[in-house]
Amino acid sequence: MKRIFIASALLMAASVSATGSYAQTAAPAAAAAYNVEATDIGTLLDDPAAKAVVDKHLPGFTANENIGMARGMTLKSVQQYAPDTVTDKALAAIQTDLAKLPATK
């Protein structure tokens, strides 16, 4: 079932700006090199450390055969298509770990 939700999310081309309650517990966006609301998935995939963070909290997400279609979307925008998988809790955990990564060039 999760695979269907993730595949559906990856097939969607629209990106929607949204905010969620997880932002209250997430690290400040200015301090992080990446942000679940602002950084596109393609950028996260291109950085092995950031990709590992996503894999840690969303197992199988980056290995999905349709992930290329979601490269321009953010994790937050994908959440609307897979809310049972890409939860506020998962996004908060990803944001916390992304904030620990060194700033990129």
What angle do the packed helices 48-57 and 88-99 form, to 10 degrees? 150
- Note the pLDDT tens digit of each residue in 68-90: 999 999 999 999 999 999 999 99
Residue 40, CA distances (Å) to 1, 15, 33, 44, 76 in order: 25, 10, 12, 7, 9
> Which pLDDT belongs to residue 14?
30
* pTM of the complete model: 0.71
- Note the pLDDT tens digit of each residue in 15-68: 333 334 444 455 444 456 899 999 999 999 999 999 999 999 999 999 999 999
